[in-house]
Chain A
Amino acid sequence: MSSSQVSRRRAIALAGAGVAGVAGAAAIGGALARQDSAPSAAPVADQVAFYGPVQAGIVTPAQDRLHFVAFDVLTKDRDRLIQLLKDWTAAAARMTAGKDAGEVGAVAGILEAPPDDTGEAIGLPAAGLTITIGFGPTLFRDATGKDRFGLAARKPAALADLPHFPGDTIDAALSAGDIGVQACANDPQVAVHAIRNLARIGMGVVSVRWSQLGFGRTSSTSTTQATPRNLFGFKDGTANLKAEETDLLREHLWAATGDGPEWMAGGSYMVTRKIRMLIETWDRTSLGEQEDIVGRTKGEGAPIGQGQEFDEPDLTSTSILADAHVRLAHPTTNSGAHLLRRGYNFVDGSDGLGRLNAGLFFIAYQRDPRTHFVPIQLNLARHDAMNEYLRHVSSGLFACPPGVSGPDDYWGRALFA
């Protein structure tokens, strides 16, 4: 059998399995050369650097697929939790490089033991996989206020529980969590493989609280990307924070020294909202009303009253209605707050009433939710004409630490130091 260190991609190249393998192998060199630079646009079979000052998967050009998971921490033992974070970090470094989750691999171990990789990604490239971790408010203090792991004093003020927003129909069982992990890739199997292996490695120490698949990106996080469409059929991600906007990212995305506890400097806060979209009733809404609700045209995606997608909306004009989504969400309506949105379309089958259980798994990163997501969402929840067709069913909030600097570092080291 092959060497225990063989990568999935090399296994294919050795077997002479053709184009994908060869292209993948070629990509390794490029990825290594890029390791310390900021993540940049990655073609489909490519690898995104895992190590770096910030976590990958935030300003990385949004990949096409998502598997998100929230875990409850079961153990009461701080050291076991730290060990798990180390194991996870190592597995994530391997998987994002297109390798098996464990050192032995899916099929190279002894026949008597379960493999240390589940195997469904054998033969698949890295596919731009990024794995991004965040810590929820309950990791610091549980519902009864107990300091579970001696972390309470390090809880950032910005990690304050999100308020109830008007119209919320949040299902607690689908919400929150001690640890959230976002896996994004250009191949759904690769994203699922990543989450599945983290859950397997964490068995007994953590348990899966809820999880969500997203099948298509609903945002662009780089000016190099074309704007995708959400399930209302509208371009989504036109006006978004983009990797290239370094000044805005510094101001609105990354937590800085002095913002709060030092372990979060270079990190970012992630808000997740699973938003059911009532697409059947939306589909019988007239085109004009749909455009009025969004505040943009459906075809081009231009602000109402302008011609081109990237024209600035004219909010002084009444042609963008008072209750239009883009007016209410726009930075000028929200004391200048910008979000980096990184959401995904989902369809979780149907709901038993002849309707698709579909919507948008909204993810937004920001420097401080109290000045960004919360006021924007309050504004939307109160006035957005789109609410007629939306139901927020799950809510999550996670503090994502800065990046992992190298093989000796691990996720959250500064937090537990």
Chain B
Amino acid sequence: MRRTPLILALVTVSAVAACGDKSDDTAASAGGPIAVKASDTACEVGKNTLDAGTHVFQIANSGNKVTEFYVYAAGDRVMGEVENITPGLSRELRVELPAGTYQTACKPGMIGAGIRADLTVSGSAAPLTEDAALAQATESYSRYITSQSEALVEKTTDFVTAVKGGDIEKSKTLFPIARTYYERIEPVAEIFGDLDPKIDGREDDATAELPFSGFHKIEKDLWATKDISKDGPVADQLLTDVKEVVAKAKAEKLSPLQLANGAKELLDEVANSKITGEEDRYSHTDLWDFAANVDGSQAAVAALRPALEQRNPDLVKQIDTAFTNVDNELAKYRVGDGWKYQNELSQTELKGLSDVINALAEPISKIAGVIAQK
């Protein structure tokens, strides 16, 4: 969490659909849903060429791991995604795709770059005007927020259920996973006054009016006091607060400038509280939050990508390289579908992470200036 709630005047950006404001599902209905067979090791997409328009993907998870499915434009800009497809389940993704080259990805275990395949969409593609590119950023990021918030509610519900059931081991496993979705959308969550401190506040931030609560209170009881028997009300409140933040977040439209700042702030979060172990001081699961903050930052940058490509393609290249460096550095500490604990890393290893984050934050801090230029 941030130390102080952000007080932002939100600029609502009118939703300008960029190209072909098609509401009819001709393409989808004509061909029927595109089947995606997802397992722990494969991701077979029924088609790799499509006509421009709206398409429906039907993802069936036959693996043992929870998976996600994404359609990415260049630079991993999310065109559409479904999170949290549990084993045995099948879910639909409806997505509008203008002509261009895309990638599909399944993410068994919900981490990493995923199992990728190319997807080509042909048809007439009118180049975006600069303003349209910016407006699209807002829409594109909204889609991200929506998908993340749905997963956040589901995962927090699982976590809260485990806590109330008194299952310490299960709660410990679910804790960093539920947090992942929160940390990805933190710049939005922080807008709503006291909600972020209630959900994600640390013990030393507590006051008489805002007592220690939320994720970190339960974290302390799971790992330090080892007694969650009295945490039922805390868990219930957490879920209530998460649902409230999600409802508000979905209704929010972040301006391109806010996206740019959000991308930077997420990295500042990493630098100031994840690498130092300040955030998850009892569980030491800071690397989950770290990865989630980086994901969130990348999503915000990706949403701005078409506009950035037009205005400063060199900056985009720098950012891409820097993101890759962060991913590679972080990958050293992967353990199964999770991460090493922060306190298992040596000072030199932490310094390595700090260096790649700073190297990434530097070009990202320039985005706002590029976006603001007319």
Contacts and interface: CB of A to CB of B under 8 A. Distances in A.
A413 interface: no
A280 B362 CA distance: 10
B355 interface: yes
Nearest to B361: A284
Contact of B351 (A321, A352, A388): A352
A281 B268 CA distance: 6
A354 interface: yes
Contacts of B3: 167, 387-388, 390
A212 B358 CA distance: 28
A323 interface: yes
Interface string B1-25: 0111001000000000000000000
Interface string B334-355: 0000000000000100110011
A353 B207 contact: no
B358 A286 contact: no
Interface stretch (B165-173, B175-183, B217-225, B271-279): B271-279
Given A166-B207, A284-B264, A284-B361, A323 B4 contact: yes
A192 B137 CA distance: 56
Nearest to A170: B204
Interface residues of A, number: 26
A286 B368 contact: yes
A281 B272 contact: yes
Size bin of chain B's contact surface: 20 to 34
A166 B7 contact: no
A384 to B, nearest CB: 6
Contact of B4 (A169, A281, A388): A388
A355 B358 CA distance: 10
Contacts of B369: 286
Nearest to B369: A286
A322 B5 CA distance: 11
A166 B2 contact: no
B205 interface: yes
B325 interface: no
B365 interface: yes
B331 interface: no
A354 B351 CA distance: 6
A167 B204 contact: yes
Interface string A280-301: 1100111001000000000000
A230 to B, nearest CB: 18
B206 interface: yes
Contacts of A321: 7
Contacts of B361: 281, 284
Given A280-B271, A284-B264, A354 B358 contact: yes
Nearest to A322: B7
Nearest to B362: A284
18 contacts: A166-B206, A167-B204, A168-B204, A169-B204, A278-B271, A284-B268, A284-B362, A286-B368, A322-B7, A353-B347, A353-B354, A354-B355, A355-B354, A383-B4, A385-B7, A387-B3, A388-B2, A388-B272
The 5 A-B residue pairs whose C-beta atoms are closest, nearest first, are A284-B365, A387-B3, A281-B268, A353-B354, A387-B4
Given A167-B3, A286-B365, A323-B4, 8 more contacts: A284-B268, A321-B7, A354-B355, A354-B358, A382-B207, A384-B4, A385-B4, A390-B3
Interface of B: 2-4, 7, 204-207, 261, 264, 268, 271-272, 275-276, 278, 347, 350-351, 354-355, 358, 361-362, 365, 368-369
